[in-house]
Amino acid sequence: MKRACLVAMVVAACSGPAKPPVVVPPPQPPPAADYRPAPPAVAMPDQPALRLPKNFVETRANVELTIDPAADGFDGYIELHGKVTEASGRFWLHAIKLDIADASIIADATDTPIALVAKPVGADLLELDAAKPVDAGDYHFSIKFHGRYDLTNTTGAFKQVVAGAPYVFSQFEAIYARRAFPCVDEPDAKIPWQLTLRVPKDLVAVANTPVEHDVVDGAIRTVAFATTRPLPSYLVAFGVGPFEIVDAGTTKSGVPVRAITLHGRAADAAWAAQTTPRILDELEAWFGVKYPYPKLDVLSIPLTVGFGAMENAGLVTFTESLILLDPQKASLRRKASWVAVASHELAHQWFGDSVTMDWWDDIWLNEGFADWLERRIAARVMPEWHLELGVLDERRGALAADSVVSARAVRQPIATPDDILNVFDGITYEKGASVLAMFESYVGPDKFQQGIRDYVAAHADGNASVTDFVAAISRVHGSDLAPAFATFLDQAGAPELTGSLDCRGTPKLALAQHRYLPVGSPAAPDTKPWIVPVCVAYDRDGARAEACGLVSADANEVALPAKRCPRWTYANADGHGYYHLAHTADDAAKLRDEAWSQLTPIERRALFAEVSDAARQGQLALPLALSFVPRLLAAGDRFSVGDAIGFPRSLDRYVTDDVRAKYESWLRATFAPAATAAGLTPKKTDDLDAESERGDLVGEALAAHEPALVAEAVKQADHWRDLPQSTRGLVLGAAVEADAAVFARVLRDVHDEADRARRNEAYGALANVSDLAKQRQALALVIDDKLDIRETRWILFGSRTLANEAQGRQFFRDHQAAILARMPSDDTTGESVSIANLFMSCDPKLRDEAVAYVTATFGAMPGAKHDLAEDIEQNDQCIARHAVVEPMVRGWLTGVKIPKPPSSKKNK
């Protein structure tokens, strides 16, 4: 599953050439550190605390659902086959918001039903009681039930209406299959499923597998799908509606591929149809194993909340904005986003679907792995986009998420349902991927790939744990990596390394470590020393060299073979190390001035990230960090340019009113020439770098009120709907800010705009106005019952200034009940808790009152306790950082001279 906040262009390195399928190696003993959880007991408690007892072990399921999207709900029947492991009179299944009409258990040998009394218990349990104990043996449950479509949350079986046509979709990860049918809704309950859908005869029904029977009787079409290979309940999926089907052909190995689109949108699936088979081809080559399922459909969902895509086996779902692209106006960024996210979801077909984690504490193996591999596969599919250069963004996001004391470990013990909801976060995705990238760099790409191939082949159609995964990597590496993996997976936080060069004898770099904690952090619990794979780039007698080692508290040196003492060292070769790297001012300047030409583009960006982060903590001077900006701009690639812009822009919140003119003047002087040269009109020759850089540079110049560009934006806004997608949002944002007439027109247009992409671009522009009167009009859209709050809610967060932020907070307080009543609130996909960020203002005077308010308002929501703890700690860090950085920014800007407007004889 791809989280909604992650649905963006993701980037990666391309691995080596394809290899033939591998032979499954003989079983290897696990490493010394065994992660395996103890098996659940068979005991039957009065009420299961989290996992169901194993007195019934399921083996297969037959599900029949009557799905009419025009109705309010659905009828269903399930036969759940399995073994009763000991004489039992009480059984447990998962079920929520389901009305049970009839339930019995039937002995397979005699076909004799035994009536069961079905009783909902707690939030999501179904108790099934027999009049007397049932003997051990082969049985199946027979249960009839009724459920209701969710109209707000995109969980379970949910309904959405587009242009008057209703559709029904499913989303079962993490624990939502229980909303569509009673089941054992746990990842290790992996069984074959046979699904039959009864739907109105004119509609299309799709599911995980190909259709076996399709019979129309009167007004009803009965569609029976082939039995799946073993799947956990969270990967079962279906969709019903007036879909259009786009044949995308077959892969090289013969897998049929289709795009299933909303009605009237077949043409918009052209890019998905063109690229999906190519992605599957590359994945088959990378894994050395054919795609494990008989077909692949990619299905569009109008609107998703909390996720952007889902890896259901054979039926992968994507939010509309990812998969359906305007063939004429879609931006290259949007096309790249599709390739990246589709690569992520299709990687899951092997890693997550065919091989599924034992339990939710290892969900990082699914999501972190898919994040890690998507960059490699996307770079193979579109090599000209150089997606591998974006690997650093994921690492930076992970280190940021890991920089709070309240951060959780990657393998956090799962003790409550809230723990399941909390694992779909940056620690699972970005940290999981970054740790894998670090160990890949240490082990070597070829060996690492072979270990993964061995793991996938050995556990196909089954479940596995991190113990199995690390054992496979350790085997190909030739040494036990479990202790090193454990230091990164089983404790929160990340190390900060400080290097000390010793040139007595063979030069060596000693690396001290401690847990990285930003200014303003509370005291952290003790952590074990990390065992860190470190690769050092260094000057060896005038040329670049590299040396690697496994650094720990006991063995903290990396030898740097050279005839003389290296002039420079950089202890994060390739930028893959999952750690912070401390620099002195002299070392940072030396890397900038002497080593720059010998560093790779990713290393340069990693160095700049380390220096700029240190400046934001008051550990290095701000002008030193800013001195890297011209070098990054000169690099010319979209990633370096984006970094060069991003750091100065991050200083905005530390700029006081009395020096703001100087700040904006510096921005214009630094970025406006390149922005003006790029212009607001895309060129036919634009590649992804040019398109992205135009967006970043022009966006920066517009934010700094560059007059010529603002005037051009207002002019182009007259026909904003017809603009290319790559500049439409920029134009709208600048025009509604600068021109009252454009603002009024766009405010009116959103009510009638049928295209979701354009509508959301308009919402984004309206959300970012600074004028308080305009902002009040934009905020009113959030509570407009004619609009979908799942789209308009983002207007709450679009504030430009402190006054705008305050007005947004007050608006929510004034309309709290109305907003929360319409907001999605379900567990992993719930968005209500995210509103707490609105009150994390970085203002010490508001801190205590804000904490009390968000705790009282959001604290009881599912998964909120952990999220709020992180929000509050990040706010405390922001308050402390503000006290450090604001004087530095003031000191820098005090010396900035505002250039006089250019003049000429013509103007005189």
Which tokens hold the place of 415? 């003790």
User: Cα 118–119–121 angle (5° rounding)?
Assistant: 145
Rounded to whole angstroms, the Cα distance separating 55 from 105 reads 13
Report the candidate in 248, 249, 250 with the shortest Cα–Cα distance to residue 259. 248
**220-225 sheet: strands from edge to edge:** 88-94, 125-134, 113-121, 98-107, 137-148, 73-84, 56-66, 193-200, 220-225, 211-217
* CA distances to 185, 189, 357, 733 from 360, in Å: 12, 12, 7, 41
Rounded to whole angstroms, the Cα distance separating 256 from 277 reads 9
> Helices (H), strands (E): how many in the chain?
28, 29
Neighbours of 340 (CB within 10 A): 30
Are the C-beta atoms of residues 308 and 322 closer than 8 Å to each other? yes
DSSP code at position 360: G
Strand ranges (E), 398-531: 462-464, 495-502, 508-515
Strand ranges (E), 571-682: 580-581
User: Cα 451–36–462 angle (5° rounding)?
Assistant: 60
Q: Which residues touch 408 (CB under 8 Å, ≥6 apart)?
A: 422, 423, 425, 427, 492, 866
Residue 80 three-state SS: strand
Which tokens hold the place of 542? 């005038």
- Is 345 known to be catalytic? yes
Rounded to whole angstroms, the Cα distance separating 642 from 684 reads 22
Report the candidate in 694, 738, 693 with the shortest Cα–Cα distance to residue 716. 738
* CA distances to 70, 214, 224 from 201, in Å: 13, 10, 14
Q: Is 685 exposed, middle or buried (0-12, 13-18, 19+ CB in 10 A)?
A: exposed
Report the candidate in 96, 60, 99 with the shortest Cα–Cα distance to residue 80. 60
Neighbours of 637 (CB within 10 A): 18
User: Cα 377–382–384 angle (5° rounding)?
Assistant: 130
Ramachandran quadrant class, 91 (left: phi over 0; alpha: psi -120 to 50; beta: rest): beta
Peptide bond into 174 cis (omega under 30): yes
Catalytic residue among 345, 367, 374, 693: 345
Rounded to whole angstroms, the Cα distance separating 428 from 534 reads 22
End-to-end CA distance of the chain: 63
Report the candidate in 413, 242, 340, 322 with the shortest Cα–Cα distance to residue 11. 340
Query: Which residues are catalytic, by number?
Result: 345
